[in-house]
Copies of this chain bind each other. A is one copy, B any other.
Amino acid sequence: MRESTGTRERIKAVALELFTEQGYEKTSLREIAERLNVTKAALYYHFKSKDEIVSSFVEDRLDRMDALIAWADEQPSTLATRRELIARYADSMFATEQPSVMRFFEQNQTALKSLAAGQQMRDRMFRLADALARGDESPAAQLRAALSLFAVHSSWFAIRAPRVTDEERRKIALDVADELLARIADG
């Protein structure tokens, strides 16, 4: 079943890049195929449809999110747990090739709404926010929890100062996230 040349992986890589750069809708299969010097039909051998390409690189991420949520559910609703949770989330974001998948999601919110994979990710983000705010059902807590997640994400583009390393971005994001989480009441 596994072909030797890794065409499937190459398709995933190119698709991720183009979907992120120009958007899911604006990227045609013809364009992906041309970059790889194969035909559109070749793509259809590896993936049933265009959205199945998306699902393929979203699955890993969904699994990570599920693991994170499951872990959080077993912990007490304390500030320490919230801090540990956001740190683990940041790690899973900054690790390996995940940043590119993360950027893809940020860039394709709209397109993802009509895709199964997108709805699942949306769902997981809300559940993660709920886990971060657990024990404090106030609207303000919901907003702070969501913003702490967004602190991790936006550290990639909101920080425009020159010569800031990934590690520094991560630290700054977590510092700001911690401030927000500190204002959520323990359950």
Contact = CB atoms under 8 A, between A and B. Distances in A.
Interface of A: 22-26, 106-111, 113-114, 126, 129, 137-140, 142-147, 150-151, 154-155, 158-161, 164, 168-169, 172-173, 175-176, 179-180, 183
B150 A147 contact: yes
Contacts of A173: 143
A155 B143 contact: yes
Q: Give the interface centre of A25, A113, A146, A164 by most chain B CB atoms within 10 Å.
A: A146
Nearest to A25: B25
Given A25-B111, A110-B108, A147-B150, A158 B142 contact: yes
17 contacts: A23-B110, A26-B110, A107-B109, A107-B110, A108-B110, A129-B158, A139-B168, A142-B158, A142-B161, A143-B155, A143-B158, A143-B176, A144-B176, A146-B154, A176-B180, A179-B183, A180-B180
